[in-house]
Structure 1
C-alpha cells in the first residue's frame, strides 16, 4: 500500500493534459475519493501502473516529474515533522529511512556508497521492493524528483547535487531531465539516487528543534511496521540516534514503547542481544564513513557513537582486521 498523498496534484495534472482522472482511478480499481484524502491507503501496484498508463495514454513521458512539481515534503505526513525538526541532514535521512514504511512499506531511502565510486561522494538512494510490487519508471521518477525538491527547498545552495542516477532508460528527452534536476542524469544504473558530496550529511537545518523532533519520533515509533523483527526495529532506532544521543537500552526501549526487559527478552528469542545490534550498526556506519568520505577519524568516531578515536580504532581492528586508515586506503577512488 501507499498513502494517497502520493497522488496529490494528480487530478489537475491529468485534466490539464485532457484526461479524466476519475476514469483512470476506477480503471485501476482505485476509489476516486483517494484524491481528497492524504491518509487513505491505496495498493501501490495499482497506483504505479496508473502513473505509467497516464504517461503513455496522455503522451506525457515526463508525467512523474510533472507530478512531483506539485508536491512537497508535507506528503510524508508525520514523517515530515520529524525531518524538518532534525538538526542535520544525516538525522533527517535516518528518520526518513526508519519510518518510510508509514508512507509505504514497499519504499525505502538510504545513504549508500557512490555507485560511480568517487571518493567523498554519497548516494541518497530511493528504492522500491520489487518483491512487493512491480517496477514503475514513472513512480520511481516521481519519488526521486520529490526527494530532489525536498532537498533543494530545505538546503538551497548548500544542496550541491552532483548528478542523478536512474535504473531505467530515459522516458523523455535527456534535456528534460537536465532541465528539471539542473544536473547530469545517468540511466541504467544499479539504483535510483541523488549523488552529492558526503559533507552534505553534516549540513544543519535552521528549523531544528530537539523537543519537536523527540515528540515526533515518539509518535512515529508507536506505528511500528508489524512485519519488522525486534532486531530490525532496534537497529533502525540505534541508527537514528547514532552520533546525536547515547544508544542506551533504556533510551531505545522508550523509543520502541516497551520495557527494557521486554526488549531484551524479544531479542534473545531472535537469537541476538542489544549489545550485538548496536555493534552491528556501528560497524556498518563506520565502514560507510571510512570508505565513502574523507572525514577526520575523530569525527567518524563521534558519528558512530565513540567518545574517543582510540575506541574507534580498536573496534575497526576487531571488525575489519585492520586500522581505520588501512581500511580507508584499501578503498578504490
Structure 2
C-alpha cells in the first residue's frame, strides 16, 4: 500500500554520517559505493551541514551494516560521534545547568538536525524515559539509525552528565534482536530489550536534576565558535513546528493558538509564515497524524486502540474513520498488507 503522504522532502544533516568511513575501514570497505547505490553524493560526507533525504540516509546505514557484517555499526557510530554531529544544539546542551535542561534543549533543537524526528521525555514515579523515533518512514527498517540515536543519547549522558560511566536502568528498541546482542548489552551496561513499542533509555528520574559537567564534556572544538540556528528561516520554522505538533498529538486537539504560543509567535504571525512556506496548519497536522499512524502500524505488537490514543483519538472508531479517509483502507487492512 502506498502512502498518500511520505514527506519525501524530509532531510537530515550529513553530520549524522560522521565517522562512517572509519567504521567501514576495518572491513576494507569504503562508503562511496554505498552512497552511489542510494543516490547520495559522496561529497556530503565531508560537509556536515549539507542535507540529504532521511530515507536515503536510513537505507545507507542499513546497507553499511549489512555489507560490513557489523550489526552494531549504527550503535558504535552514534556512541563515538562528537556531539557536534547533531549541529549547534550540542553547544546549547553543553551550557545546560542540569541533565533535564539538556534533554529539553535536545528535544527542541534536534528537529533542526533531522526532519520528522520525535523525542519524548516521560516521567512515571521513580523512572524517566527518553525515547526516539522517525515518524514519516513507511515500511522502512531503521534499526541502525535507532541504535545510532540511542547510542548518541548514552554518549551525551556520559560526556555531559555527572558520571562518565553512567548506565541506564533499561534500554528498549523497536526492532527485533540481532543474532548476537552482546555488543548492545556491553555498551549500555544494562538490560537491553528488543521488539518493544519504542526506542528508549529508561533511567532514574533523579538524573534529570543532576548538575552537568558542561562544556568540559564536549570534544575539542565542540564548545566554542558554533553558530546557533537561525529561527527566522522557513526550514527552521517548519522543523520546529512539526516537532511541536508531534509532541502535542497524544494530548488530543492540536490548535494553532497553542503551537504559536510554544514558538513565541502570535497566531497571525504563524499563519503568515505558514502561507509564505505554502503550508496550511490543519493539513500539516493531518499529514503528521497519518505518517505517525503508518509508523505505529508497522509495530505489530501495538494495539490499534493504543495507536489511536497516541494520535489523540479518544475512541478507536474515530481513529479508524480518519485513517480510512487518509489512505482509503482501515488500519487493520493496512497492517495486514504490511505483514
Tell me which interval the TM-score lies in, with the shorter structure as reference length: 0.5 to 0.7
* Within-5 A mapping of 1:222-237: 222-223=232-233, 224-226=236-238, 232=244
Displacement of 1:218 in angstroms is 7.4
* Within-5 A mapping of 1:285-324: none
2:13 corresponds to: 3
Alignment partner of 1:164 out of 158, 162, 171: 171
The gaps in structure 2 that reach 5 residues or longer are 1-10, 216-222, 249-257, 273-279, 282-339
Report the Cα distance in structure 2 between the residues aligned to 1:17 and 1:112, rounded to whole angstroms. 40
* Within-5 A mapping of 1:251-270: 256=264, 262=268
Report the Cα distance in structure 2 between the residues aligned to 1:138 and 1:265, rounded to whole angstroms. 37
2:203 corresponds to: 196
The 10-residue stretch of structure 1 (4-13 or 122-131) with the greater mean CA deviation from structure 2: 122-131
- The 1:217/1:90 distance shift into structure 2, 3 A limit, reads farther
Report the Cα distance in structure 2 between the residues aligned to 1:147 and 1:192, rounded to whole angstroms. 11
Please report the TM-score for the alignment, with normalisation by the length of structure 1: 0.64
- The 1:16/1:111 distance shift into structure 2, 3 A limit, reads same
Alignment partner of 1:76 out of 48, 72, 86: 86
- The 1:39/1:173 distance shift into structure 2, 3 A limit, reads same
1:135 corresponds to: 141
- The 1:58/1:120 distance shift into structure 2, 3 A limit, reads same
1:42-76 CA-partner distances (Å, limit 9, x unpaired) = 11111111111121122111111222243021111
Report the Cα distance in structure 1 between the residues aligned to 2:179 and 2:73, rounded to whole angstroms. 9
- The 1:186/1:26 distance shift into structure 2, 3 A limit, reads same
* Within-5 A mapping of 1:143-154: 143-154=149-160
Report if the CA contact (8 A) 1:19-1:58 is conserved. yes
Provide the alpha-carbon RMSD of the alignment. Answer: 3.6
1:301 corresponds to: none
Report the Cα distance in structure 1 between the residues aligned to 2:72 and 2:172, rounded to whole angstroms. 16
Please report the TM-score for the alignment, with normalisation by the length of structure 2: 0.63
The gaps in structure 1 that reach 5 residues or longer are 237-248, 272-333
